[in-house]
Amino acid sequence: MGESKMGNGASSWILHMAFIILIANLWGVIIKEWKGVSKKTTTTIAIGMTVMFISILIVGYGNSLK
């Protein structure tokens, strides 16, 4: 449904799914779901969320060039 509403082909699906994962992880941080995990896990989550955010920006920018 996200792809059909955004209308950018496959890249809209990529943006939609990445945004869902990013928001779910942020929500987990806000409600302290990740409380008590190791420092390595916290670092991995932070790096993953940063990479995902950067990928959203890159794909979004690429779509704006069309």
Local confidence pLDDT in tens for the 66 residues of the chain: 555 665 666 677 777 788 889 899 889 989 999 889 999 999 998 999 899 889 888 887 887 776
Predicted pLDDT at 18: 84
CB atoms within 10 A of CB 15: 19
3-state DSSP assignment of residue 27: helix
Length of the chain (residues): 66
Instruction: Report how far Cα 65 is from the mean position of its chain's Cα atoms.
Output: 21
Show Cβ contacts of residue 10 under 8 Å, excluding neighbours closer than 6 positions.
3
What residue type is assigned to position 8 of the chain?
N
pTM above 0.75, yes or no: no
Predicted pLDDT at 50: 93
